[in-house]
Chains A and B, each alone.
Chain A
Amino acid sequence: MMGRGLLAIEDLEREDIELILDTAFHMKEVGQREVKKVPTLRGRTIINLFFESSTRTRTSFEIAGKRLSADVVNFSPSSSSLTKKESILDTAKTLDAMDPDAVVVRHSVAGVPKQIADELAAPVINAGDGAHEHPTQALLDLMTVVEEKGRIDGLTVTIIGDIAHSRVARSNIYAFTKMGAEVRVAGPPTMMPAQVETLGVKSFRSLREALDGADVVMALRIQLERLAGALFPSVREYSATFGLDRAKLRYAKDDAIVMHPGPVNRGVELSHDLANRRPGVILDQVRNGVALRMAVLYLLAGRKRGAEGEVD
C-alpha cells in the first residue's frame, strides 16, 4: 500500500491496517495536548481535490494536515468533466506539475482517484469515490471499535442500509473482514448489490436476524433526495423495517455499539436517542477521524512513486 497512496481498503494487507491504526492512536494523543501541532510535515503541501462537496470530510483532512504543520490547499473544481473545460485528467496533470506531497481526492464517480493516481507522482488518498470505497472512514470505524471492544477478531459486525450505493459499506466490509470479523449486511432487496456474498459477507432481509448476536451495528445514511420512491416506497416504510432504535437494538448483544458515518437522518436510520447517546458512538468516530487522517498523511505525504527505504 504504502508506495502508491491509499485508494482502497481492498488493496491493503492486514499488517498495513494495523500499522495505520497503531499510528492513529499515537496521533490521537497529539490531539489531546495543549499544543495540538507537531512539525512533522512542515513545508509539505497537501491538496484537497474535492470534486464532490463534503464539508465534514474535507475539514477533517484539513485539520489533520494542519496539525502536522503541512500547508493544506483546498481545490473544489466542478464535478463533471462534461460541464467544465478542463478534464479530470488535465486537472491531475496540472496539479502534478505543482509537485504536491499528497493529494486527497473525492469524486461522485467510482474510479476517479485511481485514474488520477495514474497521472500523479504524488501519493493519492481516496476520500470517497462514488459507491466504490471510502478508506479513511472504514479505518476510523475500525479504530473506534478497537477502542470500544479491544479487538476486531471474532466480532460480528452488521451493516444496515443502502449497501448497493454505499462506499462506506464496501470499505467497511473489506476492513472488518481483513481484521477477522464476521460481517453481515441487511437492507431492502432493491438496495442490495448483485452477488454481494462475493465480497465475503452474509446478506439478510430480516433486520432481526441480521442483528442477532451482533457486537457492532453500523447504520448507513439513506439518501432521501435520490432514492425515496424509486428504490423503496417511503421513508416511513424504511424506518419501520430497517431503522434502528433501542427496541430493535435488543436483538443485538447487550453491549453492542451503534455507529453511523454521518450525517444522520434522525428518525430514519437511527432514532434521535441512539444518535445522541450511548451505545451510539458517532462523535467518537468523528474524533478518531482527525487522528486517523493524521496517521495516513504522516505515513504517505511526500513519498514519491517507487520510493524505497529501510524500516527505521
Chain B
Amino acid sequence: MASDQPAKNRPEPSAPPAPPSAGVVLDDVAIQRALMRIAHEIVERNEELARLYLVGIPNGGVPLARQIAQNLREIAGVDVTVGVLDTTLYRDDRLTRGIRPRLRRTEMPSAVDDRLVILVDDVASTGRTIRAAMDALMDFGRPRAVQVVALVDRGHRELPIKIDYVGKNIPTQRTDHVELRERAGGEGMEVVLMQGRGAPS
C-alpha cells in the first residue's frame, strides 16, 4: 500500500504497509497504539480537558470511546464523560427501500451544553454518519465545540466533513468494505478490509 498518509504530529514511523487485498489492515496492537496516540493528540490540542465529552457512535465507536477515555485517565489524570449516541434515526439515506435498520442504544449521561464534544466513530467514509451524529447532537443541546475521531478514514467523502483525529488512512475502492470487529477467539479487535463487498457509510 503505497500512499499511507501519516496523521498530524505523528512522531513514530508507521508499521509496514498491509497489502491492499482482503485481510486485516489493523491488528489489535496497532489499534491500541493508535488510540493512545489519539489520546495524546487530544490532550495537546485542548486546554480545558474537564469540558471534554466523548460520544461514541454505535457500534464500533463505543468501545473506542471508552478506551480513549481510559487512555486520557492514564495520561492526564482526567475522568472524561463518555456517552453513546445512536444516529439511526437521523440518517439521510432512502430508508423506504427495505427493512428499517435496527435501532441501537443511546445513553447521554450529561447535558451537552457548553461541552467540548468529541464524536468517536470506527470507520469514516462519506461523512454522512458524522453529519447525522451532529444533527442528533444539536437536538441534545448546544456544545461549545465538536471534534471528530475516526479510527480509520477510508476516503470517498461526500460531505464537507473533517476528521480531526485519524487512527489510520486506508485507501479503498468504493465497493470495498472496511469493518472494525472483534477478533475470532475473543481477545481484542481488528480492522478488516473486504474487497468489492459493499457501499461506503
Contacts and interface: CB of A to CB of B under 8 A. Distances in A.
| Chains A and B directly touch (beta carbon < 8 Å) | yes
Interface centre among B97, B100, B106 (most CB of A within 10 A): B100
A307 interface: yes
A19 to B, nearest CB: 7
A308 B99 CA distance: 7
The B contact surface, by secondary structure, is loop
Interface stretch (A34-42, A218-226, A246-254): A34-42
A291 B102 CA distance: 15
Contacts of A302: 95-96
Given A38-B89, A302-B95, A303-B96, A22 B103 contact: yes
Size band of the B side of the interface?
20 to 34
Contacts, number: 62
Interface in A37-63: 37-40
Given A23-B103, A35-B139, A40 B98 contact: no
Contact of B99 (A27, A34, A38, A311): A311
B135 interface: yes
A19 B96 CA distance: 17
B140 A33 contact: yes
A299 B95 CA distance: 10
B90 A38 contact: yes
Contact of A307 (B97, B103, B139): B97
A30 B102 contact: no
Contacts of A39: 89-90, 135
Nearest to B96: A302
A2 interface: yes
A287 interface: no
Nearest to A303: B96
A307 B100 contact: no
A26 interface: yes
Interface in A196-251: none
Contacts of B136: 38
A29 interface: yes
B196 to A, nearest CB: 16
A37 B138 CA distance: 12
A75 to B, nearest CB: 22
Scoring B91, B98, B104 by chain A CB atoms within 10 A of each residue's CB, the highest score goes to B98
Q: For the complex, would chain A's binding face be called helix, strand, loop or mixed by DSSP majority?
A: loop
B105 interface: yes
Which of A27, A302, A312 counts the most B-chain CB atoms under 10 A from its CB?
A: A312
A308 B105 contact: no
Interface string B117-149: 000000000000000000110011100000000
A285 B99 CA distance: 27
A203 to B, nearest CB: 38
B103 A38 contact: no
Interface string B156-174: 0000000000000000000
B64 to A, nearest CB: 21
A103 B90 CA distance: 23
B153 interface: no
B13 interface: no
Nearest to A68: B89
B102 A19 contact: yes
A312 B101 contact: yes
B190 interface: no
A11 interface: no
A309 B141 contact: no
A309 B97 contact: yes
Interface string B3-39: 0000000000000000000000000000000000000
27 contacts: A2-B99, A23-B100, A26-B104, A26-B105, A27-B103, A29-B105, A29-B106, A30-B89, A34-B140, A35-B139, A37-B139, A38-B90, A38-B136, A39-B135, A40-B91, A298-B100, A298-B103, A302-B96, A307-B98, A308-B98, A309-B97, A309-B99, A310-B99, A311-B98, A311-B99, A311-B101, A312-B99
Given A34-B139, A312-B98, A312-B101, 4 more contacts: A38-B89, A38-B90, A298-B103, A308-B98
Ranked nearest first, the 7 interchain pairs of A and B with the lowest CB-CB distance are A309-B98, A312-B101, A26-B103, A38-B89, A302-B96, A35-B139, A40-B89
